[in-house]
Amino acid sequence: MAGKLAEMRSSEEIVRTYQSLGWKGPCLMNPNRVSRAHAPGENPTYLLRKDSAPRSLPNQYAELKRLIKQRGLLDQQPAYYTGKTAFTLGLLAVSLALLFILGDSWFQLLNAAYLAFVFVQISLLAHDFGHRQFSFHSSRKNDWLTLVFGNLLLGLSRQWWIDKHNEHHGHPNQVDLDPDVDIPLLAFEEEQALQKRGFPRFVVKYQAALIFPLALLQSLSMLSSSIEFLAAKKAKSTLVEAMMICAHFALYLGLLFSVLEPLQALLFIAVHRGLFGTYMVSIFAPNHKAMPLLERDSDVDFLRRQVLTSRNVIAHPITDFWYGGLNYQIEHHLFPRMPRNKLREAQPIIRGFCRDHSIAYHETGVLQSYREILQHLHKVGAPLREARKAR
C-alpha cells in the first residue's frame, strides 16, 4: 500500500485508492471547549482501528510530534500575540475613527468593506485564542479573552463556535460527524445532493455558481446559529454570552445610526456583513472542501485523517497574512495549538515526514484551490441537473 501511494501523481488516483478504506465520493483534491491539556486532535493515542485501514504503528504521529517539539514549535509566543492583538485592535480603531471623520458621506461604504476585513482579522485571532495558541495560566482569563473577541467584538457566541470547531477538528470531512460537511444549502457528495428537497435541492443543482453569492449570507447564518445555540442554553455562561452579544449590537447599531442617515446605515450593514461572510468563506472553504470525505464508521488513523482531508494553499507573506495562517491547514490540523507564526517553520518538517511515510500531502495555489472546489461542487450537482433534463 505504501509503495503504491508513493508512486501516485494525481489527486484522483489517491482518492480512488482510499475509497476502499472508507473514503466517500469522487473528489479532486469548512474556540473553547479546548482543554488546557490537549487541543482537538493532539492526543496521539486517538487511533481508530480496522484491518482494512492504514495504521500508524509504531505511532507515527507521536514520532512527528517529537520532531516538532524538539524545534520548540509548540512553545507559547506571548510577544507575537501581544503585537498581533495590538495591531488588530489598531485596525478596528481606524475604522471607528473613519466613521466619525467621514460622517454621513457615501465613502462610508468603503469603510464598511474595510471593517469586513478587520472583522475577519479579529475572527482569526479569536480562532487562535480558542485553540490556546496563546493562553493565560487562568482558565477564567482565557474564557474572558474569547468572550471579548467572539461575543463583544464580533457579536457571535464563542461557545457555539468552539463546540462546532472542535467537532470539526476531531472528525474532519467525516460524514454525520463533521458539522462543516452538513450544510443545508450545499452538498459535497452525490448521496447528499439526491437527499435534498425543495429550495435546497434547487440551490445544490447550481451550487458551483451560487456558493459565493450565498457567502454574502454567511455572517447572518453564524448569528442565527449563535442565537439558536444560546436559546437552547447549551453554553456554560449563557447569560454572559447573551449580554455581550447584545452589547455588541447596541454599540454597532447605535454608532451607525447616530452618525449615518438611516439608508446609509442599512447599506453600511449590508456591505459590511456581506463582505465579512464572503471573506470568511473564501479563506475557510479551501481548507477541506473538495477533499476526500470519510464514511461515518471509517477507521483511518489520526495522522492520515488530518493530512488527507486537508488542503494547503502555497505559502507567501501575503497569503499567510490574508489567510491568518489557515493556508497551512495540514500543519494546523495536526497541531492545533501551534502558534500561527510557527506554522511556516513546521511545514517542511511535516511535508518531509509525509513524503517519507508515503502520505499524500496536497498543496496548491489560491486560484487552483477555488477551481478544485467549484469543479467538485459542479460535479456533485450534476445528477440533479440531469434529472431535470430527463423530465
Res. 97 pLDDT band, cuts 50 70 90: very high
Q: What is the pLDDT of residues 277-297, one digit of tens each?
A: 999 999 999 999 999 999 999
Question: What distance lies between CA 271 and its chain's CA centroid?
Answer: 22
Whether pLDDT at 391 is above 70: no
pLDDT of residue 32: 27
Higher per-residue pLDDT: 92 or 19: 92
- Contact criterion met (CB below 8 Å) for 128 and 137: no
Whether pLDDT at 41 is above 90: no
Q: At what angle do helices 108-130 and 78-102 cross, to 10 degrees?
A: 160
Selection from 277, 267, 266 nearest residue 116 by Cα? 277
Higher per-residue pLDDT: 41 or 251: 251
Q: Which helix (H) or strand (E) holds 313?
A: strand 312-313
Q: Percentage of the chain with pLDDT > 70?
A: 84
* C-alpha torsion angle, residues 86, 92, 94, 97 (rounded to 10): -130
CA distance 246 to 122: 18
Q: What is the pLDDT of residues 335-372, one digit of tens each?
A: 999 999 999 999 999 999 999 999 999 999 999 999 99
For the chain, domain boundaries: 2-390
Using the structure block, give the residue that is written with the C-alpha cell 481508530. Answer: 48
Q: Please classify residue 206 by burial: count the beta carbons closer than 10 Å to its beta carbon, then call 0-12 exposed, 13-18 middle and 19+ buried.
A: middle
Residues 6+ apart with CB under 8 A from 265: 253, 256, 257
Question: What distance lies between CA 390 and its chain's CA centroid?
Answer: 38
Q: How far is CA 375 from CA 23, 103, 208, 382, in A?
A: 19, 44, 7, 11
pLDDT of residue 387: 79
Whether pLDDT at 53 is above 60: no
CA distance 127 to 340: 10
Predicted TM-score (pTM) of this structure: 0.85
Q: How far is CA 28 from CA 25, 203, 290, 294, in A?
A: 10, 21, 6, 15
Most confident stretch, 32-46, 57-71, 167-181:
167-181
